[in-house]
Structure 1
Amino acid sequence: MKLFGTVILFLIVFSCSNPKGKIRPVERDLTESVYSSVTIQPDSLYQSYAIVSGILDMNLVEEGDAVSVGDPILQIINNTPKLNAENAKLSLHLAQENFNGNATILEGIRNEIEAAILKYKNDSINYFRQKNLWNQKIGSKMQYDTKQLNYKLSSSNLRLLQSKYNSTKKELETKVKQAQNNYQTALITNRDFVVKSKINGKVYALYKEPGEIVNTQEPLASIGSASHFIIEMLVDEVDIVRIAKHQKVIIQLDAYNSAIFTGVVSKIYPKKDERNQTFKVEAVFDEAPKILYPGLSGEANIIIDKKENVLTIPKAYLIDDSQVKTEAGLVAITIGLQNLEFVEVLSGITKNTYIYTPD
């Protein structure tokens, strides 16, 4: 009974000494920060797509496997590219045979040219012989004209065959090159049915099972770094202008209870997400937890500013963000740094001024 009376007396004395929440400003270290939600993601995380359609034949890796650049991940099957490659190969062989083979078109033209050369030489000899005779007034005009005509026809025919040979050779060369290109394209298309890793990392997800249809619109796998992780934060648009690279970040992850981790802002994405009116900001750990998984969530505070030994009052005592209630009535103050609990007082009152909670 005596103890109960003592407690009542203490409460009465305390109430009289601190009427209406009467306090004085206090000097303390003050840190201002911006709050953000957190999601952990592997560095260089990307979704792998097929560039051809078909049916998934097999997954060549399992979720959690380590992969290197160029390692096959999935095999897709489609008979059409194989048939196209075989047809392109046959076309290439035919074009090469037409150009280089024993019974080629060019060989036939070369034979015609050789015969034309012999005829040209013979007609040339006959013509110039007849011309000499004609100059000596020997022989008839008809014989001379006939030899001259045969000579001109032979010369013209030889030029035509040589031109035909050159144009046919270029045409066949072009067909060989086109066939080679078509064959290489078919081989490349055929190779596209094997999806490969673009980075050194880990397979975090496989989205298709063997036998399912694969197209170019749906992701097949998710691959990212196995050892480096990024802290993804969503910052409200009203705070984004206060965020800068290299600012310190205090992180708390749900998976690690009350453990505190630190990091620094590494990247600020300039485009706003219109759905939730936020900007994405990335940070990296100073020292990451030993075990991390994609999608781990938590919260973070990005340190905007920090001051030591500044005059502060609780935010609950602030009226209209610019006044406090004192023994002399409402007094205008200038505020500076602030956090969720306290606000810095730059001018208007001193540490000896009593302030009261608002009515």
Structure 2
Amino acid sequence: MKLYPFFFLVLYILFSCESKQDKTLPVKRELVESVYSSITIQPDNVYKVHSIVSGIIDKVLVKEGSQVARNQDIIQIINNTPKLNLKNSELSLQLAQENYYGKATILKTIKDEIASAYLNYKNDSINFFRQKNLWQQKIGSNAEYDTRKLKYELSKNNLYLLKNKYNQTENQLKTTLKQAENSYRVSQINTKDFTVKSKITGKVYAIYKEPGELISIQEPLALIGSSNRFLIEMLVDEVDIIRITENMDVIIKLDAYKEQTFNAKVSKIYPQKDERNQTFKVEATFINTPQVLYAGLSGEANIILKKKENVLTIPKSYLTQGNQVLTKNGVVTLKLGLENIEFIEVLSGIDENTYIYKE
């Protein structure tokens, strides 16, 4: 029985399988380890405009895209309530001033009562001590002595109470006057705030309200930010945030500039995690800024953690068990180093001439 054809068939199948199996050689290259992040472009110093009074919008004095100067009028608001409050505050202030400084004040009335009480006290005091001297000489009756003494003590106590009443009333009227003055000043300020102004020199990126709409102090009216300075907002996973520090290099790719990359540096790391998406916000500033930028442009970023030249690398897809590769001589355990999404550095275990295979 001849087995030669069968033997050659097995060899052919094995050889064919090996030739079709994916294999590659390690390659020396520059290797960059980075953290990936999606990005959004936002103007610097951007803020939402609010009014400190409620009311109805009368006029919107700017348009979206307009350049504005610091303290420039943006929105006019109609509101009669502050004017009424100012009038009421003015009346309250006048009443408080009249009560404290006026001729027919409460304090003057109490002063007159004190003067009258003092005269009674002085008269009762003279009568009491005269009666006391007579009684010591056994002149007069005990009942008359007790009557003079009681009247003297009542006069003395009444004078003491009136003086306390005067001091308390004076403090109360003084406090009421100060409160009325403060309330009047606040009302004056509110009546001046019918026109909302820009806090910075920049650009109007959004107008949220139209003329005729009723607004409250909680509602934003517009969005204003820098017209020529932009920030790169990145959302970084909590696993990677501890590896990032300020001034790290960042490579930016914007969807609007498909064929270009831009350089930036990390400028700020926010310490509070966003519980909604479990990420930390990181800001970066452009080194070479694109010619045209708009708020809300999106793209992707790679924050550079480490960079090495001329290192031996293999594709990460060839790794098995985390740090092993399949070679012609079997499974080899590697010592690994720097890595990125696609490649990983090989420190020892194989060299440039060692083919590795995919399982």
Fold shared, TM-score > 0.5 on shorter chain: yes
- Mean CA deviation greater in 65-74 or 235-244: 65-74
Q: Is it true that 1:172 corresponds to 2:173 in the alignment?
A: yes
Cα distance, 1:172 vs structure 2: 2.5
The one-letter amino acid of 1:288's match is T
Mark the CA change 1:117 to 1:342 in structure 2 (over 3 Å): closer, same or farther: closer
Secondary structure at 1:82 match in 2: helix
Q: CA offsets, 1:246-270, max 9 Å, x none?
A: 2211112223332221111223334
Distance, in Å, in 1 between the alignment partners of 2:325 and 2:146 is: 128
Distance, in Å, in 2 between the alignment partners of 1:329 and 1:54 is: 80
Mark the CA change 1:49 to 1:137 in structure 2 (over 3 Å): closer, same or farther: same
Secondary structure at 2:175 match in 1: helix
Percent of aligned pairs with the same amino acid: 62
The equivalences for 1:131-210 within 5 A come to 162-190=163-191, 195-199=196-200, 201-210=202-211
Cα distance, 1:93 vs structure 2: 0.1
Q: Is it true that 1:74 corresponds to 2:75 in the alignment?
A: yes
Give the RMSD, CA atoms, in angstroms: 4.1
Which residue of the partner structure matches residue 301 of structure 2?
A: 300
- TM-score of the superposed pair, with normalisation by structure 2: 0.75
The one-letter amino acid of 2:40's match is T
Distance, in Å, in 2 between the alignment partners of 1:136 and 1:324 is: 129
- Mean CA deviation greater in 26-35 or 321-330: 321-330
Mark the CA change 1:123 to 1:280 in structure 2 (over 3 Å): closer, same or farther: closer
Distance, in Å, in 1 between the alignment partners of 2:75 and 2:102 is: 42
Distance, in Å, in 1 between the alignment partners of 2:310 and 2:157 is: 107
Which residue of the partner structure matches residue 38 of structure 1?
A: 39
Q: CA offsets, 1:83-119, max 9 Å, x none?
A: 1221121011012112212333333444555566677
Which residue of the partner structure matches residue 89 of structure 2?
A: 88
- TM-score of the superposed pair, with normalisation by structure 1: 0.75
Which residue of the partner structure matches residue 279 of structure 1?
A: 280
How many residues were matched structurally? 342
Q: Which runs of 5+ in 1 are unaligned?
A: 1-17
Q: Which runs of 5+ in 2 are unaligned?
A: 1-18
The one-letter amino acid of 2:82's match is P
Mark the CA change 1:124 to 1:202 in structure 2 (over 3 Å): closer, same or farther: same
Distance, in Å, in 2 between the alignment partners of 1:223 and 1:246 is: 27
Mark the CA change 1:191 to 1:354 in structure 2 (over 3 Å): closer, same or farther: same
Cα distance, 1:122 vs structure 2: 7.5
Secondary structure at 1:174 match in 2: helix
Distance, in Å, in 1 between the alignment partners of 2:184 and 2:305 is: 61
Q: CA offsets, 1:100-150, max 9 Å, x none?
A: 123333334445555666777788889989999999999999999999999
Secondary structure at 1:246 match in 2: coil
Secondary structure at 2:247 match in 1: coil
Distance, in Å, in 2 between the alignment partners of 1:111 and 1:168 is: 14
Distance, in Å, in 1 between the alignment partners of 2:142 and 2:89 is: 61
Which residue of the partner structure matches residue 53 of structure 1?
A: 54
Mark the CA change 1:325 to 1:212 in structure 2 (over 3 Å): closer, same or farther: same
- Mean CA deviation greater in 195-204 or 245-254: 195-204
Mark the CA change 1:288 to 1:141 in structure 2 (over 3 Å): closer, same or farther: same
Cα distance, 1:41 vs structure 2: 0.8
Q: CA offsets, 1:277-299, max 9 Å, x none?
A: 44322211123234322111122
The one-letter amino acid of 1:282's match is E
Distance, in Å, in 2 between the alignment partners of 1:187 and 1:60 is: 24
Distance, in Å, in 2 between the alignment partners of 1:22 and 1:231 is: 41
Mark the CA change 1:117 to 1:305 in structure 2 (over 3 Å): closer, same or farther: closer
Distance, in Å, in 1 between the alignment partners of 2:164 and 2:355 is: 110
- Mean CA deviation greater in 235-244 or 339-348: 235-244
The one-letter amino acid of 1:301's match is N
Distance, in Å, in 2 between the alignment partners of 1:45 and 1:306 is: 34
Which residue of the partner structure matches residue 10 of structure 1?
A: none
Mark the CA change 1:345 to 1:114 in structure 2 (over 3 Å): closer, same or farther: closer
